[in-house]
Chain A
Amino acid sequence: MKLSVNGKEIDFTGEEDRPLLWVLREDMKLTGTKFGCGVAACGACTVLVDGEPTRACITPAASLEGKKITTIEGLDGAAGKAVQQAWTELDVVQCGWCQSGQILTATALLTKTPKPSEQQITDGMTGNICRCATYHRIRGAVARAADIMEA
């Protein structure tokens, strides 16, 4: 079968239950998608599947035929760029391990909801753990990205 990752088609012939996370990291060397918990509890492995934030650590790659997978390496578009700019302006990152997942989750949120309320930001982002607790800046950066998109 074929997988579409960041606009490129690749052949996938692995085991049926092997999660997308390991296909990205081990086979494709797209290591920006991170392993955090393996049980969809932390969000470090978040990628976009047809624009929807998806936990790559529990999603079998074999289930994604015909879907468009976007990882941090392939992030593009107005929302994605605005999020990266806001993350830079506010210097959100600390250790950085969770940030690919944070950024993709924020991108999906802003694509659907370009002017999120404080509560919508909280609801949209609270599923992604940041052990450095950069949450204060994540909140600010999502709001800032919304402003950048509007400008």
Chain B
Amino acid sequence: MAADTFTFAPSRRLVLQVIGLGAAGFAVGCAPTIGSADAAATQSVFGPFVRIGSDNTVTVLLKHIEFGQGVSTGLTTIVAEEIDADWSQMRFDHAPAEVPTYGNGAFGGAVQGTGGSTAIWNSWDQLRRAGAGAREMLRQAAAAKFKVDPAEVLMVNGRAEAGGKSATYGDLAAEAAKLAPPDPASLTLKDASAFRFIGKEKAPDLVSGRADTPSKINGAAQYAMDYHPEGTLTALLARSPKFGGKVASVDDAAAKAIAGVTDVVTISNGVAVVATNYWSAKKGRDALKITWDDSAAEKRSSPAMMADYRKLLATPGHEARKQGAGAAALKGAGKVITADFEFPYLAHAPMEPMNCVLEYKPGESLLIHSGSQMPTVDQAVAAGILGLDPKQVTIVTHVAGGSFGRKATPDADLIAEAAQITKAINGKAPLRLMWSREDDLRTGKYRPMALHRMSGRVNNGAIEAWKDSTAIQSIMEGTAFLPPGQPDLSSIEGGYDMEYEVPNIFADVHWPKSPVSVLWWRSVGHTHTAFAKEHFFDQLAKEAGKDPLELRRTLLAKEPRLLGVLNLAAEKAGWGTPLAAGRSRGIAVHKSFNSYVAQVAEVTVKPDGSFSVDRVVCAVDCGIAINPDIVRSQMEGGIGYGLSAALGEAITIKDGAPEQSNFYDYQVLRLAQMPKVEVFIVPSAEAPTGVGEPGVPVIGPAVANALFAATGKPIHKLPMGTMV
């Protein structure tokens, strides 16, 4: 633990409000308008992550944003376990933006950020020790108060007890926080057999298992868009229709004539209309007449871009893997199969469109209210634009209405736009920048379009050679997240490093360029590599005359955790048992973000050629499952998110501009298309790994393999639609 323990009176930011529904009121940070149960409580600080209130609440500061994946419960559970709290006293709040204190260990600690399914595993040891350290300080304080030896003090359910005396953590906090924190290495952590919260189904005394449920079913949760300081102005930005276009000239007379419009300002990537409310800003933006300079813009359409990718694949790319004789082994006895798999651009489309509120005092400070995955980058970018020191930029992180990677941008695009606009109006009022749904779908930072060319040679019932060549724009190149000159292998993660035991393997990659902007999208490279690998595998298995499950078992014999989920999913799904007429099964297995997932999909192909995905059985090995029900919900949601992309989602480009603009033409999964899902968790004593992403990449190939089993026809292009 850090040595900076002190007691302080709470600022508004740390005032915790209980948003009650039943006994387990959980505070969602930054909710100044709701409740006021313990506004007067004094908070004692136990290092960066733990606060204990005089009202006997224990607050965990989250260095990771809660955007649905469940960290407000998961990280809180880890602390509750080691501090020996009563679950009903636990609260959470987002930590401020501050590195290295709240840096992500998985990103080297220099950047505070949420992504790559790292929140739980990089916090696991840190928060256990934070909780255990606070517990020992409370024990010392209790020993002093009771005048007994610390070894005699029992810590149980948020109370210290010894010799018939008892005190709550709230009673002890102020004195305990003055003590020297113990050396983290000296702390004894609990044995798994003593866990009361970790790995348990809905913990005792809980109305709800999820810490954020109460505030999300009554409208009380405060997202960035819900923050309405007095006098807020709202901006909408008109951006170039084509990727890479710039403003040449603007006629803003009609926009300025709209009631409520206060300012029209041109910034680096467009023209912002600022108004007293959203509707006026929208009307103002609609009234702008802008001439765009498209000299550096993308002008191609998706088919032409894909044709360029095809040409690239006729040439050697960056060699990512060569095993055995590599590609040369495609020549030999038996049969060679080659198949192309095409993947479109995809939008993240979180339900809460991008937005933030900036309160700027020129030359002094900036306060950002947002729901960002990458506060450190936001802080630096805003400071640069406004001529401030990053320390003068304070960020209040709100729960976010989804993100899926979109709110983790290496260039802080949202904040950069908002900072330029507030600079242009000299911070005269709090400024909200809103993105409409059209902005969200048309502004880019898509999952990149990709082309995989898979080749394999099958001989005597065995796969003897395997080649995977990919063309895809790099996400990391040119960002601070990739040293110059280093290859961006995240583009093909899960593909080039696949685990199947094949004697000859070759993988290479091309990184074509385009002004169409790209970004990590929930499970990143695995979104396409898993599909190409797993669907192609079934085609080779068929050629080899092998059951696809049996061949996977053979080629994963040295991969116990992959084999474990594969066998569990197959068993629970009844692999090999008879199915109703028209119904078929497909299986896929994939490791991503150090978690292991296998899924069996059951599909029904109807006589008219339409099909439905009826049932999915999922097995996951994520080490210790801290909150099993959240692991299940992340698998369910990941399956829905991956199925959505597999069936219906595509951003297509025409003459440099996206063709889709809202949910009527960007087809995301709806309830009627959601299969029944059963999730099984492999019992494990391994350290926990992430679950936000690993459920996503497996469902597409599982469904494609089920359709392949039904029709004999592989699927070469996503989205696959709803007809075979």
A binds B: yes
Binding site for B on A (CB under 8 A): 15, 17-19, 22, 25-26, 29-39, 41-42, 44, 71-73, 75, 84, 87-89, 91-100, 103, 122-123, 125-139
Q: Contact at B222–A31, with CB atoms within 8 Å?
A: yes
Nearest-CB distance from B118 to chain A (Å)?
Answer: 18
CA distance A129 to B649 in the complex (A): 14
Q: Contact at A131–B672, with CB atoms within 8 Å?
A: no
Q: Contact at B437–A96, with CB atoms within 8 Å?
A: no
CA distance A122 to B351 in the complex (A): 20
With contacts A38-B437, A97-B352 taken as known, whether A126 is within 8 angstroms of B68 at the C-beta atoms is: no
Q: List 25 A-B contacts (CB under 8 A).
A: A15-B259, A22-B278, A25-B228, A31-B222, A32-B220, A33-B219, A36-B353, A42-B663, A73-B219, A88-B213, A94-B70, A94-B402, A95-B400, A97-B350, A99-B216, A99-B217, A129-B351, A129-B663, A131-B404, A131-B641, A132-B68, A133-B638, A134-B637, A136-B676, A137-B633
Q: Contact at B402–A132, with CB atoms within 8 Å?
A: yes
CA distance A72 to B216 in the complex (A): 10
- Top 6 A-B residue pairs of the complex, sorted by shortest distance between their CB atoms: A32-B219, A133-B640, A97-B401, A95-B68, A96-B216, A94-B68
Interface flags for B247-287 (1: CB within 8 Å of A; 0: not) read 00000000000010000000000000000011100000000
Q: Contact at A135–B674, with CB atoms within 8 Å?
A: yes
**A-B interface contact total, Cβ < 8 Å:** 183
CA distance A125 to B672 in the complex (A): 8
Select B279's contact among A22, A34, A71, A129, beta carbons within 8 Å.
A22
**Nearest-neighbor residue (CB-CB) of A19 within chain B:** B279
With contacts A73-B219, A96-B68 taken as known, whether A133 is within 8 angstroms of B644 at the C-beta atoms is: yes
Nearest-CB distance from B589 to chain A (Å)?
Answer: 21
List B residues 202-253 near A (Cβ within 8 Å). Answer: 207-210, 212-223, 225-226, 228
Which chain A residues lie closer than 8 Å to B643 at the CB level? 133
Q: Is B399 an interface residue (CB 8 A)?
A: yes
CA distance A15 to B213 in the complex (A): 36
CA distance A88 to B210 in the complex (A): 9
Select A94's contact among B69, B209, B670, beta carbons within 8 Å.
B69
Binding site for A on B (CB under 8 A): 21-22, 33, 67-70, 207-210, 212-223, 225-226, 228, 259, 277-279, 349-353, 399-404, 436-438, 629-630, 633, 636-641, 643-644, 662-664, 668-672, 674, 676-677
Q: Contact at B662–A97, with CB atoms within 8 Å?
A: no
Interface centre among A36, A91, A122 (most CB of B within 10 A): A91
Q: Contact at B228–A131, with CB atoms within 8 Å?
A: no
Nearest-CB distance from A117 to chain B (Å)?
Answer: 14
CA distance A38 to B349 in the complex (A): 14
| Interface secondary structure of A, over-half rule | loop
Which chain A residues lie closer than 8 Å to B399 at the CB level? 95-96
Which chain B residues lie closer than 8 Å to A122 at the CB level? 671-672
With contacts A95-B68, A131-B668, A136-B676 taken as known, whether A30 is within 8 angstroms of B219 at the C-beta atoms is: yes
Select A73's contact among B22, B218, B438, beta carbons within 8 Å.
B218
Which chain B residues lie closer than 8 Å to A33 at the CB level? 219
CA distance A135 to B668 in the complex (A): 12
CA distance A13 to B401 in the complex (A): 31
Which chain B residues lie closer than 8 Å to A96 at the CB level? 68, 212, 215-216, 221, 399, 401
Q: Contact at A91–B208, with CB atoms within 8 Å?
A: yes
CA distance A115 to B672 in the complex (A): 19
Which chain B residues lie closer than 8 Å to A93 at the CB level? 68, 210, 212-213, 216-217
With contacts A31-B222, A94-B70, A97-B223 taken as known, whether A135 is within 8 angstroms of B640 at the C-beta atoms is: yes
**Nearest-neighbor residue (CB-CB) of B438 within chain A:** A38
Q: Contact at B228–A31, with CB atoms within 8 Å?
A: yes
Which chain A residues lie closer than 8 Å to B33 at the CB level? 29
**Nearest-neighbor residue (CB-CB) of A73 within chain B:** B219
Q: Contact at A136–B636, with CB atoms within 8 Å?
A: yes
With contacts A93-B210, A95-B68 taken as known, whether A32 is within 8 angstroms of B218 at the C-beta atoms is: yes
Q: Contact at A36–B218, with CB atoms within 8 Å?
A: no
Q: Contact at A103–B67, with CB atoms within 8 Å?
A: no
CA distance A72 to B226 in the complex (A): 14
CA distance A17 to B277 in the complex (A): 13
Q: Contact at A75–B218, with CB atoms within 8 Å?
A: yes
Nearest-CB distance from B230 to chain A (Å)?
Answer: 11
Q: Contact at A126–B664, with CB atoms within 8 Å?
A: no
**Nearest-neighbor residue (CB-CB) of B674 within chain A:** A135
Which chain A residues lie closer than 8 Å to B214 at the CB level? 88
CA distance A35 to B440 in the complex (A): 13
Nearest-CB distance from A35 to chain B (Å)?
Answer: 7
Which chain A residues lie closer than 8 Å to B209 at the CB level? 91
Which chain A residues lie closer than 8 Å to B668 at the CB level? 129, 131
Which chain B residues lie closer than 8 Å to A18 at the CB level? 277, 279
Which chain A residues lie closer than 8 Å to B676 at the CB level? 136
CA distance A94 to B352 in the complex (A): 13
Which chain B residues lie closer than 8 Å to A103 at the CB level? 217
CA distance A76 to B630 in the complex (A): 28
Interface centre among B278, B349, B351 (most CB of A within 10 A): B351
**Nearest-neighbor residue (CB-CB) of B353 within chain A:** A35
Besides A94-B637, A131-B349, A133-B643, 7 other CB < 8 A contacts? A31-B226, A41-B663, A93-B210, A95-B351, A126-B670, A128-B671, A130-B351
CA distance A71 to B217 in the complex (A): 12
With contacts A88-B208, A97-B352 taken as known, whether A132 is within 8 angstroms of B223 at the C-beta atoms is: no
CA distance A99 to B221 in the complex (A): 11
CA distance A42 to B669 in the complex (A): 11
**Nearest-neighbor residue (CB-CB) of A17 within chain B:** B279
Q: Contact at B217–A31, with CB atoms within 8 Å?
A: no
Nearest-CB distance from B678 to chain A (Å)?
Answer: 10
Q: Contact at A95–B350, with CB atoms within 8 Å?
A: yes
**Nearest-neighbor residue (CB-CB) of B73 within chain A:** A91
Q: Contact at B664–A98, with CB atoms within 8 Å?
A: no
Nearest-CB distance from A24 to chain B (Å)?
Answer: 10
CA distance A99 to B402 in the complex (A): 12
Interface centre among B207, B218, B225 (most CB of A within 10 A): B218
CA distance A94 to B672 in the complex (A): 19
Interface centre among A18, A30, A92, A96 (most CB of B within 10 A): A96
Which chain A residues lie closer than 8 Å to B663 at the CB level? 37, 39, 41-42, 129
CA distance A87 to B68 in the complex (A): 15
Q: Contact at A26–B278, with CB atoms within 8 Å?
A: yes
Which chain B residues lie closer than 8 Å to A136 at the CB level? 636, 640, 674, 676-677
CA distance A30 to B225 in the complex (A): 12
Which chain B residues lie closer than 8 Å to A137 at the CB level? 633, 636
**Nearest-neighbor residue (CB-CB) of A29 within chain B:** B228
CA distance A146 to B406 in the complex (A): 37
Nearest-CB distance from A2 to chain B (Å)?
Answer: 20
CA distance A22 to B259 in the complex (A): 16
Which chain B residues lie closer than 8 Å to A98 at the CB level? 351, 401
Q: Contact at A97–B218, with CB atoms within 8 Å?
A: no
CA distance A110 to B223 in the complex (A): 28
CA distance A88 to B636 in the complex (A): 17
Nearest-CB distance from A112 to chain B (Å)?
Answer: 18
Q: Contact at A44–B672, with CB atoms within 8 Å?
A: no
